[in-house]
Amino acid sequence: MLLPNGESLQRIIGTETEFGVASRHVHTSDPVENSLHLISQYPSLIAPRAIWDYENENPLRDARGFEVEGERERPGPEYNRALNKLLANGGRLYVDGAHPEYSTPECSTARELVAYERAGELVAAKCLEVMNRTAEGYVLYKNNSDGKGNSYGYHENYLMNRSVPFDVILQGLLPFFVSRPIVAGAGKVGAENGAAPATYQISQRADFFECVADLNTMVKRPLINTRDEPHADPARFRRLHVIVGDANMAELSTYLKVGTTAIVTHMLDEGHDVPSFELENPVDAVKIVSRDLTVKADLKLARGGVTNALAIQRAYLRAAHEFYACRELSPATKDVLVRWEHVLDKLERDPRQLTAELDWVAKRQMIESYVDRKGCGWNDPRAALMDLQYHDVRPDRGLYYTLERGRRIERLLDDEEIAAAELQAPRGTRAYFRGACLRKFPHQVYGASWTSVLLDVGDVAVKRVPLMDPMRGTQDLTNELLEGVETAQQLLDRLSA
């Protein structure tokens, strides 16, 4: 399917990670204060006085055609600066509710997204290191649950064509999301939120979903989020805001999570048929999937009969092969398809074959080995502690990083790529222009957002440079514009010429 101007839709993706903060000190237990203090410690800010521009943001619009009541966030300048830190890589470090959160810049491939999400781990770890120099005892986790009944989010974002009806998206993605944890679950000891007991389950988030579709993200959590906040030209684009996924540590889990979803959204954008599985109760089904370590438990269909998570994923994979059989297949997409099939084949034979590839399998093996060695049960507090420690962002303490150092988990990236992603914006999206402005004019960038850069050149009014198309503002499109420009005023003169 083509956009109104005849362009094909590039796959633009990004993620948002809320980190869990823990403190050993009773007098420093305020999560909001801890989060604000944490993000203020980042040592590599290049425009510390820049604010976040909320002008084009409205999280109250629902994709089903209405707007709910509520207050849109509009903090004053000083509190805005405390809440938001604009990063050199085009991403954002901020406080959302009671958690520090990192948003990647807009990326154009799954591999690129993995690099920028992992760069967020570096950012978080550096903040924590500086914070602990003066007040030891803080720990930061890239996970989704504190084990005490509280869940915090990990959100994915996919650019889609506005012309695709939301009902088509909902029906096309619901069975895919219900079954996706077998590929992208982060693993979890126990159960929460009043869900059925479990020794170990595949997904951290599954227990916290209570309805099929809704606008909420913190209560009555839906499998399909209906937020209609495109962060782009609303006449051309929609942003699919996905809250059903886990925060992963393993690179392959993240890669397949976003890569396979980008493929399915591409099929929906082009009007291609996707598998039709009408589940009897999708909310119950995602909990069944999470507790089924064989990945083959029966899921009831609304019109009789059963299926299972593995069968659903295989059906989507077959549909993807059919879709790309008559289209140009990029190397990046081909790699996702190959790895997707490889993982599903191993899951069918024995999920334990994926100990070096997927989070939920790697974590299970690690904790199971400990439990067997110590002769304790899965209900031993040390098992739950290992679950948490797997997600510790400190490189010298996190159990996931122990697997990396021991070369017991598959890597897609090297450390140099991740380090570069912390400081350099992606070249193929509008994030490049945002990052370039921050580097070139750190004292003249008054603020920025996904859809704007605000420049203060000393006039009465701040000048807004709109970025309503995520596929513009790339290195190729802005190199000539930015070449030789030394001031924000020179940039504005070129833009108005």
Evaluate whether 360 touches 368 at the Cβ level (below 8 Å). Answer: no
d(CA 85, CA 46): 10
Burial class (CB in 10 A: 0-12, 13-18, 19+), 377: exposed
End-to-end CA separation in angstroms for the chain = 34
Exactly one of 30, 53, 62, 96 is catalytic; name it: 96
φ, ψ at 316 (rounded to 5°): -65, -40
Local structure of 16: helix, strand or coil? strand
30 given a catalytic annotation: no
Evaluate whether 138 touches 38 at the Cβ level (below 8 Å). Answer: yes
φ, ψ at 255 (rounded to 5°): -60, -50
- The CA–CA distances, whole Å, from 87 to 52, 216, 475 equal 11, 28, 17
Q: Which amino acid is at 415?
A: D
Of 283, 117, 308, 279, nearest to 205 by C-alpha is: 283
**How many residues does this entry show for the chain?**
497
Tell me the angle at which helices 110-134 and 415-423 cross, rounded to the nearest 10 degrees. Answer: 80
Residue in the block written with tokens 């309503």: 468
List, as one string, the DSSP characters of 362-404: HHHHHHHHHHHHHT--TTSHHHHHHHHHHTB--TTT-HHHHHH
Active site residues: 96
